[in-house]
Amino acid sequence: MQDELEAELEDLEHAELEERLLQPSTTQLPPVSVPAYSRPTQVPAQRTAPQKSAEDDELAELQAEMAL
């Protein structure tokens, strides 16, 4: 008899908890303040001339040879 009552109590507690979890929250969270120094800053893109690699040099040489 005691085991049955404990099992029934556990079922009721589980059902109550499940019902509370499924209800929408009515509490509002306070706004979050983010310090200015931790905000990401937008860095302007810097354009740099692409550096020639050895492959680019080799390609240019082959193109020059083919043009002859």
- Cα-based distances in Å from 28 to 11, 20, 24, 31: 30, 17, 11, 9
Q: Which of 25, 2, 5, 1 is nearest to 13 (CA)?
A: 5
- Please report the pLDDT score of residue 67 as a whole number: 82
Amino acid at 39: R
- Please report the pLDDT score of residue 54 as a whole number: 85
Residues 22-62 pLDDT 10s: 887 777 777 877 666 655 666 666 666 667 788 888 998 99
d(CA 19, CA 26): 14
pTM: 0.35
d(CA 63, CA 61): 5
Q: Per-residue pLDDT for 68 more than 90?
A: no
